[in-house]
Amino acid sequence: MIEMENIKVLKEKYWAGKTSLAEERTLKEYFQTHPEVQGPEQSLFAFFDKESKVEYTREVRMPRPWLTKFTHSILPLAASFILLVGSLWGLDHYSKSSTQNEVIVDDPQMALQITREAFALLNGKVDQGGKTLKENIIYLDKTFIFKNL
């Protein structure tokens, strides 16, 4: 009966995570020698025992040292080369596209007209943004309320 009380205390300590390895070994031996005791602990220790006997039989291939040295030295160079080529291609593509959008105007009146139209377009966009800001400024106080919570 004293053994049962001891096992009960050990089980409580085990589930609380406060047992030592020796106490866990005692629990394991108890559940192995008393198969008539049913409970989650008995199943758990049986599972641990079964899984500890599983062996990994697949062959593990180790990487070749010369291959890893090669890849560690070549990969950064290849990445730098790709980055350089991509940057040069992007710069070339950008410079070609920017020259296609140029408009050359010799007449000063025509240049003034184009400039006025550009400023009018810009002014319309700024006014539109200002209206949107004025309409949504009331929600700003509500965001401060949520921020301070």
- Is residue 62 pLDDT above 70, yes or no? yes
65 in Cβ contact with 71 (< 8 Å): no
109-123 pLDDT, tens digit each: 888 888 888 888 887
- What are the extents of the domains in the chain? 2-52, 105-149
Give the per-residue pLDDT at 97.
Answer: 64
Of residues 144 and 106, the one with the higher pLDDT is 106
Of residues 101 and 56, the one with the higher pLDDT is 56
10-39 pLDDT, tens digit each: 888 888 888 888 888 888 888 888 777 777
- The string over 31-70, giving b where at least 16 C-beta atoms fall within 10 Å of a residue's C-beta and e elsewhere, is beeeeeeeeebbeebeeeeeeeeeeeeeeeeeeeeeeeee
Please tell me the pTM assigned to this model: 0.36
